[in-house]
Amino acid sequence: MVSPPVRRRLGGLRALAFGARLALFGGRNSAIRTSLTAVGVGLGVAMLLFAASVPTVRNHRDQRIHQRIDVNLSDRAITRSDHTVLVRDIDTVFRGEKIRGRMVQPEGPAAPLPPGVLRYPRPGEMVVSPALHKLLNAPGNGLLRERLAHPIAGEIGDAGLLAPGEHVFYLVANHMAPDAGPTRRLDHFGKTYPRKPLPPELLLLCIAGIVVLLVPVGAFIAAAVRFGGERRDRRLAALRLVGANRGMTATIAAGEVALSTLAGTALGVVLFMTGRQFAGTVELQGLGVFPQDLTPQPLLAALVVVAVLSLSLGITQLSMHKVAVEPLGVVRKSGSTSRRLWWRIALPLLGLILLRLSVRSPADLHGTSGVVLLLIGMLSLLVGVTAVLPWAVERLTRLLGGFGPLPWQLAVRGLQLNGEATSRSVNGIAVAVAGAVALQTLLTGLAHNPVDSTARGAYGPSASTRVAVARLDDGGTRGAAYAPVLATTPGVQRAVEFRELSMSPLNGGFPQTVLIADCAHLRLLAQLPSCSDGDAFLTAPPGTDTRHDLTTWAAGMKLRMDMYGPRWTVPHIAATVRATPAYPAAVSSERTLLATPEAAGHTAIAHAVSTVGLTYATGFEDVEDHIRTAAARLDPAFSVEFPGKSQGNPALDGVRRALLAGVTAVLVLIAASMLLGALEQVRERARVLSVLVAFGTPRRTLATSVFLQSVLPVGLGLLVAESIGTALGSSLLDLVGIPAPRNWSTLLAIAGIGATVSLGVTLLTLPALWRSTRPQGLRHE
């Protein structure tokens, strides 16, 4: 005799199995519904598996960074041997693309090899990354080929690259001076050091990015499991007619959704494995990964499967509470009662309150309680978008219905009848847009933060000209003047040559700069009253007077060249003069010393860096690349700086590119969600559309109504999303004490993206719309 609890359990299992059979063998409509749900869940699962691979990607990237460190971070001195190599940085930039370059000179047959390099080529040859090789061979890149005019002897392997699209090269030389400042001797590549905690601003950005990227995926999956809900509810009513009770119908619905979810999970794994193979050929926002790096952590992968299944079952059960499935039909509880606003507004308000209480100071971001409250607050704000949007759509349709042209009335009536389904399809893009606006607000605020900005003021003769500084540490062995050659570069108006040397106080104070040149060149750097060999002058910073202030520099003061060089005595200073604003090397916040060769002395000249100050026209095409190329032709070790341009924050730039890549992928996913939702609505209304065409309604009118039915909720969703997203971004910036910027162009751009997505979805649903309006659609059983 089977006990009642066991009987109930077996009955529940049989109901689940029956729901699964209905999903597979319930007819054509069931197969379409199951396929749509599986595709939607599969796309969401694939996205979550990519997200679960982020820790592995980061670990592998950190390992590659550690393995190719080419700086001696230890205190021991490295002497020359057969196991050493000389290394010097020769990085460059081409049309905004950074290129990592190293000049290397092995000092013996057993010299260590950089990661990814199998052997050293002959002097004068170089090995390049595959992406740089492709860039060099691309048409229109003659300036880069001229700059890196060295024979290519091989390519760098994956072990020496941070991403497939990274541009790296190693140039082998045989004339490197081991005592030159930037040149260093190594006996191995690589160094492991403990990971440093992120600054509060970047930690906040990472937390916000995780929430913003994952919540729209959850909204997408929640919408996918409700595809075809109306037909499923009518079929459950038929089951009630043959004797099924309410609990059994809910269990049958759960079994149907569970099978669709499991099929979608399997499809998501297939999509992830397929997309993983092409990861090396795709870049989002300049960010790429190797296929082997995209390996989800086992715990996170299992959590994805459990979370997706739990979410689908939970959404199904919640949706069943809003529908009374009776033997003679389906009654929707939301059809006659108006949605209440108070609890929908309470969600974003609760989120704002929690954000205010979560972090009292930026240091609280490293605490567990602060991060938990921050996550709950962000989730409340973003989920509040999905709560407010259905109420807004309902109010809009009530206000706009009953008047207007026929396409407008059809669209509004369709929203009134299927407002819930429409809101589900738009919720995803609304949440994604709210998150994107919050991230953009946060990124803009951090980018304009003085702490994160390393840009210096641009000093130039006019708005149409700027300045550049080319430096070469040649160890005092300069054989020819560089300024006359650089002066002939296209776009360059003037070139002034001098020697530059950093001086440090003996007590370890702040280093100072000495510029060494003859009187003719010093007159181009500053407004000198008179000058003869042996004179020295101080420059007054911009905005200060030219009083003779010798608190920093005083005749007879003992300084040290660089950090560990020989001592140097400050010469007699003739006067304090006004620096020429055209040359930023002479214009700084400190009082720079200008010295003639006799005043500086031979030792100082030998330790100084050859420097050329350039004035160039901004309107000349690729002028910066022309300057870099001309300097590299003189010597590959030449470094060129453009002080008027912001250098940015590398850590912030890396996080920004990763987040923008994630937002791009999420928006593509949400566009797919809207397309699936639109196709489902066209399929649900096929018989109604066929009747309208049969009575003479033009198809153009129906297409316009479908477009309006997509644009209206999307426009309303964008308005709600941009309001909540701006509030979220401003609140996050307030946590770290940064004022929120006003970025109207971003809001308009995101609104344009929403309109473009609506138009694209409408165009893609037109074939299904034409098929649904055929006379065969009038047939009904």
Any long-range contacts for 693-702 (C-beta under 8 Å, 24+ apart)? Answer: 693/773, 694/775, 694/778, 697/406, 699/769, 699/770, 699/773, 701/406, 701/407, 701/410, 702/407, 702/410, 702/769, 702/773
Q: Is 376 a domain residue?
A: no
- Average the pLDDT over 327-345 and give the result: 62
Same domain, 491 and 606: yes
Burial class (CB in 10 A: 0-12, 13-18, 19+), 268: buried
When pLDDT is cut at 50, 70 and 90, the band that residue 452 belongs to is very low
When pLDDT is cut at 50, 70 and 90, the band that residue 706 belongs to is confident
Q: 458 or 65: which carries more pLDDT confidence?
A: 65
Same domain, 472 and 397: no
Same domain, 477 and 621: yes
Domain boundary among 160, 186, 212: 186
pLDDT for residue 288 is more than 70 = yes
pLDDT for residue 583 is more than 70 = no
Same domain, 139 and 213: no
Return the pLDDT at 406: 84
Q: Is 192 a domain residue?
A: no
- Average the pLDDT over 204-213 and give the result: 77
Same domain, 179 and 79: yes
Domain boundary among 611, 641, 671: 641
- The DSSP call for residue 656 is H
Same domain, 259 and 164: no
When pLDDT is cut at 50, 70 and 90, the band that residue 2 belongs to is very low
Same domain, 114 and 143: yes
Which region among 221-230, 348-357, 397-406, 582-591 has the lowest average model confidence (pLDDT)?
582-591
Q: Is 374 a domain residue?
A: no
Same domain, 48 and 22: yes
- Cα 725 to Cα 527: distance, rounded to the nearest angstrom: 53
Rounded (5°) CA angle 41-43-48: 90
When pLDDT is cut at 50, 70 and 90, the band that residue 510 belongs to is confident
Domain boundary among 186, 217, 251: 186
Return the pLDDT at 450: 44
- Average the pLDDT over 43-68 and give the result: 88
Return the pLDDT at 548: 61
- Average the pLDDT over 88-109 and give the result: 93
Q: Is 531 a domain residue?
A: yes
Same domain, 174 and 269: no
DSSP E strands, 567-608: 567-569, 575-578, 593-595
- Average the pLDDT over 575-586 and give the result: 70
Amino acid letter, 698: P
- Give the chain's largest Cα–Cα span: 117
Return the pLDDT at 4: 54
Q: Is 593 a domain residue?
A: yes
Q: How many CB atoms lie within 10 A of CB 269?
A: 18
Beta bridge partners of 568: 559
Tens of pLDDT along 48-60?
A: 898 889 889 888 9
Q: Is 194 a domain residue?
A: no
Tens of pLDDT along 13-23?
A: 788 888 788 87
- Average the pLDDT over 482-499 and give the result: 90
Same domain, 220 and 266: yes
Q: Which of 92, 141, 85 is nearest to 114 (CA)?
A: 85
Q: Is 362 a domain residue?
A: no
Q: Is 360 a domain residue?
A: no
User: What secondary structure does DSSP assign to 690-729, as a single string?
Assistant: HHHHHTT--HHHHHHHHHHHHHHHHHHHHHHHHHHHHHHH
- Average the pLDDT over 475-496 and give the result: 81
Same domain, 761 and 629: no
Q: What percent of the chain has pLDDT over 70?
A: 79
Q: Structurally, how many domains does the chain consist of?
A: 4
Same domain, 222 and 168: no
Domain of residue 166: give its range.
70-186
Contact yes or no for 590/606 (Cβ under 8 A): no
